Chain A
Amino acid sequence: MEYQSLREIEMYPVRDLSYDFLGIHFENPFILAAAPSTDNLDMVRRAFEMGWAGAILKTTSVEGTRVDLTYPMMSTFDHEGRKLFGMGNIDLISEHHIDTVEYNVRMLKKEFPEKMVAASIMAGRKEDWQSLVERLENAGADLIECSFSCPQGNIGEDPGKMLAQSVSATELTARWVRDAATKIPVSIKITPHVTDIVEIARAVKRSGCHALTASNSIQALMGIDIRSFAPYPSLGGKSTYSGMTGPAIKPITLRTIAEIARNVDIPILGTGGASTWSDAVEFMAVGAGVVEFCTVVMHYGFRVIDDLKSGMSHYLDEMKFSSPVAIVGKALPNIVMHDDLPRRTVRSHINEKLCIACDLCYVACRDGGHMAIDQQSSKVPYVDRERCVGCGLCQHVCPVDGCIEMRVAV
């Protein structure tokens, strides 16, 4: 017996994080987004065993669809020494066609009946969309997600164009799918790359589809090698636009979800930039019912579920929320239009006890604010309350948490 390699005995009670959403039971709000992590049966099995509540299998299509991948497909947006602030991919849909995905759904539902197993689909013609839906329903999927938003474009559209960039195409295609779905809910995965996200959401709502997944990756050019002028990811010096995901896109997604939730009454699956339990709380606070994860898993592995669950449990305890459902929409009443914002006089206050006299606030205000901070050699800088307009820049460049405060002037 190797005592050293024994598994630890759990000493803390496991908090119940389960709830129902779209008529489906979720063990917790954390599911895997349609991506490489869900393209392989063994990988999804492993994720389920580790505690993920569900998975959306990577987007599939009807047999015979050509999926012309090319490699390498990944690149990253690193920032100030941190890897993977954003991640870019030039991936396409799965090379596995519906026959394989049907099999995977069947196996997973058999082995893990308590998990949410969904599949993502993409097609061109009406018959194909509808047959994909029927086959997945019969295979026992809990939910179908329709990718209207692959950054490399939808099948059958103009090159690089996404279905979800056209209100009419979205509504028409969503209706086809809705008509075929007789047993399970359908969610349309949309892109934030539109003039008016609310118009698209309304189109989905009109189609009768049950939910929206907001939102897919951001089309991006990940970078250029400044000596060879090859864009990233470089495939022999050539490249194309990537779909960017990961922490960098979180604020964009938050806005997208919030804007839909504020205007259209439709359940939302959140995706795009969530890495931690607190990101998930934010997604839910602006209206997401569950949260999908992809890049963080590709970076650190399925094991991130431990912190997602633990962090969410402690958060719910702290907030005295009985269930994650209590978070959904909590921030929405606080999002208003600019005209409706309170108008008060605020001024910057530096906490002398916390200030480390780096003078970053000074230089930021001098060259990017209102020249309201005076430098006092190696001492705490001084805010001139006459010149300070209260923009808040200094507060955000200060490296010390809580050192600069914006106080309402009386």
Chain B
Amino acid sequence: MQCFDAPCTAACPTHIDVPKFISMIKSNNVIGAAEVVKTSNALANTCGKICPEEVFCQSVCTRGKQDSPIWIRELHFFATQYEKDNGFSATKVFPKSKKTVAVVGAGPAGLGCAFELAKLGHRVDVYDGRIPGGVPRNSIPSFRLAVRELESDTKFLSGFFKLKAQAVDKKGFEQIRTSHGATFLAVGLGQDRMLGIPGEKLKGVIPVLKFLEKAKANSTSMKIGKRVVVVGGGNVSLDAAATAKRLGAESVTLIYRRSEKEMRVWRSELEEARKQGVEIRFLVNPLSIVGKTNVEGIKCRRTRLSKRKDRSGRPIPVEVKGSNFVVEADSVVIAIGQTIEAEWLGSVERPKGGYVKVGKDFQTSVPGVFAGGDMIAGEGTIVQSVAHGKYAAHAIHEYLTAM
């Protein structure tokens, strides 16, 4: 189509010039197309594979007003894969400043920031106790994103900064902060939220990130039992349910306290879970997990939706008295959300102990300390996190240059 001032470009958080890269694919300049994508989005292959285009670029495609939207993500993926398979284009020599920046966390936000800072000429140390890649590497199921697929990005990016294999703690944070011109925090949400109901300590109750990480790390040897219940309602719970099925569970039941309409999930994820044969039970609230030492089941109560709405604008479910029942289970996966895992953040302001507060320039309450990704916005997306990192890098650049 080649729309001018294209809505897809505006809708992509990293603002990839979509008409430009599509025109390049059309002219058979596929490497050029990949370069356009990568210039805007450092995690180009990863996003090409699993970016939820249905909420970004493709959702606003002008062509959709005529017949159906262009498959933007597929084209994006085609171009970046082609470049990967044919050898990465050489990058130019970036300027060299004497400033150093520490990036804590090598997930999408951290990597996005580190690469942009490198382009701006700064020396970057990236701290992460684990192999770079964050949630996409460790938790997103292999059937959606294999490790090697993500590595095609991290391998390319790792040439542009120094990786320090170190999990940052209170002492480390102070030390890093004072030894660098600026610090960018991007540790994501590493802590699983629990239900706070009886029985969560039983063997067979697994927090979702732990579950997904283990499954991704050694999917063949992982035992999950015949009957699995997943408590949740977001994308992560669907990933967990589909993973349990793939691990060989005979029945997988996802319980969600509201109805299908309130589920905040991407169509592709819901379809995948259904295709795997996951049973989704709506309007069900867990009361307790039952069993002696091992999980035997989960006691639930039916809910109905009240007229009152919560902060997210969705109706609040209320329990229906006398509707208790037990769903038998060998494992229960708790997938009701994640919080920040960082006692060491100290004076970095987190209203109500929640996400880190930043200004328009991604700066936290501590001068010189910036933050982005899920730790400032809650559970988000890869592309959104890359965008945070990228734009924060410019704010950091400004901060360093003003010094």
Q: In the bound complex, how far is the Cα of B28 from the Cα of A306, in angstroms?
A: 14
The answer to whether B120 and A307 touch across the interface, beta carbons within 8 angstroms, is no
Closest approach, in angstroms, between the C-beta of B88 and any C-beta of chain A?
10
A2-25 residues at the B interface, CB under 8 angstroms: 3-4, 6, 8-14
Residues in A neighbouring B391, C-beta threshold 8 A: 3-4, 6
Question: Which of A278, A301, A307 has the most B CB atoms < 10 Å from its CB?
Answer: A307
Interface size on B, residues (CB 8 A): 31
Residues in B neighbouring A278, C-beta threshold 8 A: 27-28
- Pick from B2, B28, B116, B398: contact of A1, CB under 8 Å: B398
| Given known A-B contacts A11-B38, A310-B24, A3 and B361 have beta carbons under 8 A apart | yes
A26 within 8 Å of B (CB atoms)? no
Q: In the bound complex, how far is the Cα of B22 from the Cα of A306, in angstroms?
A: 12
Closest approach, in angstroms, between the C-beta of B3 and any C-beta of chain A?
10
Closest approach, in angstroms, between the C-beta of B392 and any C-beta of chain A?
8
The answer to whether B38 and A1 touch across the interface, beta carbons within 8 angstroms, is no
B350 within 8 Å of A (CB atoms)? no
Q: In the bound complex, how far is the Cα of B28 from the Cα of A364, in angstroms?
A: 28
- Pick from B38, B92, B116: contact of A13, CB under 8 Å: B92
The answer to whether A11 and B91 touch across the interface, beta carbons within 8 angstroms, is yes
The answer to whether A311 and B39 touch across the interface, beta carbons within 8 angstroms, is no
- Pick from B29, B89, B119: contact of A277, CB under 8 Å: B29
Q: In the bound complex, how far is the Cα of B24 from the Cα of A12, in angstroms?
A: 16
A370 within 8 Å of B (CB atoms)? no
Residues in B neighbouring A9, C-beta threshold 8 A: 39, 116, 119-120
Q: Which size bracket describes the interface of A in this complex?
A: 20 to 34
Residues in B neighbouring A306, C-beta threshold 8 A: 20
- Pick from A4, A13, A307: contact of B15, CB under 8 Å: A4
| Given known A-B contacts A9-B120, A300-B23, A303-B20, A311 and B29 have beta carbons under 8 A apart | yes
Closest approach, in angstroms, between the C-beta of B305 and any C-beta of chain A?
37
The answer to whether B28 and A311 touch across the interface, beta carbons within 8 angstroms, is yes
B349 within 8 Å of A (CB atoms)? no
B272 within 8 Å of A (CB atoms)? no
Residue of A whose beta carbon sits closest to that of B20: A306
Q: In the bound complex, how far is the Cα of B124 from the Cα of A258, in angstroms?
A: 55
The answer to whether B29 and A11 touch across the interface, beta carbons within 8 angstroms, is no
B395 within 8 Å of A (CB atoms)? yes
A314 within 8 Å of B (CB atoms)? yes
The answer to whether A307 and B90 touch across the interface, beta carbons within 8 angstroms, is no
Closest approach, in angstroms, between the C-beta of A241 and any C-beta of chain B?
30
Closest approach, in angstroms, between the C-beta of B73 and any C-beta of chain A?
20
Q: In the bound complex, how far is the Cα of B38 from the Cα of A167, in angstroms?
A: 54
Residues in A neighbouring B90, C-beta threshold 8 A: 12-13
The answer to whether A11 and B92 touch across the interface, beta carbons within 8 angstroms, is yes
| Contact string against B for A residues 306-328, beta-carbon threshold 8 Å, 1 for contact and 0 otherwise | 11001101100000000000000
- Pick from B27, B38, B92, B392: contact of A311, CB under 8 Å: B27
Q: In the bound complex, how far is the Cα of B90 from the Cα of A313, in angstroms?
A: 13
B35 within 8 Å of A (CB atoms)? yes
- Pick from A6, A10, A307: contact of B27, CB under 8 Å: A307
Residues in B neighbouring A304, C-beta threshold 8 A: 23
A276 within 8 Å of B (CB atoms)? yes
A129-180 residues at the B interface, CB under 8 angstroms: none
Closest approach, in angstroms, between the C-beta of B1 and any C-beta of chain A?
10
Interface residues of chain A, those whose CB is within 8 Å of chain B, are 1, 3-4, 6, 8-14, 276-278, 300-301, 303-304, 306-307, 310-311, 313-314
List 19 additional contacts besides A3-B392, A300-B2, A313-B32; criterion CB under 8 Å.
A1-B398, A3-B391, A3-B394, A6-B394, A10-B92, A11-B39, A11-B92, A11-B94, A12-B35, A12-B91, A13-B90, A13-B93, A277-B27, A278-B27, A306-B20, A310-B29, A311-B24, A311-B29, A314-B31
Top-8 shortest CB links A-B: A311-B29, A310-B32, A3-B391, A13-B92, A276-B27, A9-B119, A314-B31, A8-B39
